[in-house]
């Protein structure tokens, strides 16, 4: 493993010798994960530092929406379907599971 001078993980080598690289924004959040096989995943954040989108290795994007208080309110899947979230006082957001 290698680390930045700010303590951010830059590379990780697994037991097979494959290297995964990590990119970070100026706030230290992971913006990209690059696997040795040439596959990359990208993360986007809003001005509050909340995750707003993840683009997977196949280019499919999942988006995240929040209310004014910063609570996660919806996850929009790559196919456009929406999963609503509920946040209870002091608990983590929960996601209703889709059948199937």
Tens digits of residue pLDDT in 40-60? 999 999 999 999 999 999 999
pLDDT band (50, 70, 90) for residue 86: low
Does residue 73 belong to any structural domain of this protein? yes
| Residue 94 scores a pLDDT above 60 | no
Does residue 96 belong to any structural domain of this protein? no
Confidence (pLDDT) at 15? 94
Percentage above 90 pLDDT, the chain: 78
Does residue 29 belong to any structural domain of this protein? yes
Does residue 75 belong to any structural domain of this protein? yes
Domain count, the chain: 1
Does residue 7 belong to any structural domain of this protein? yes
Distance of CA 8 to the CA centre of its chain: 16
Confidence (pLDDT) at 35? 94
Q: Lowest-pLDDT range, 23-27, 33-37, 41-45, 87-91? A: 87-91
Confidence (pLDDT) at 84? 74
Ramachandran category for residue 57: left, alpha or beta (phi over 0 → left; psi -120 to 50 → alpha): alpha
Q: Using alpha carbons only, give the angle 77, 81, 85 rounded to the nearest 5 degrees.
A: 80
Domain ranges, residue 16: 2-84
**Is-contact 83 96, C-beta < 8 A?**
yes
| Residue 71 scores a pLDDT above 50 | yes
Does residue 9 belong to any structural domain of this protein? yes
């Amino acid at each position: 493993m290698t680390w930045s001078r700010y303590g951010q993980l830059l590379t990780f080598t697994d037991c097979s010798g494959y290297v995964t690289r990590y990119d970070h924004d100026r706030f230290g959040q992971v913006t990209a994960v690059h696997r040795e096989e040439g596959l990359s995943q990208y993360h986007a954040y809003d001005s509050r530092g909340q995750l707003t989108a993840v683009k997977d290795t196949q280019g499919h994007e999942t988006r995240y929406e929040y209310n004014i208080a910063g609570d996660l309110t919806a996850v929009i899947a790559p196919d456009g379907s929406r999963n609503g979230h509920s946040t209870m006082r002091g608990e983590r957001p929960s996601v209703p599971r889709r059948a199937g």
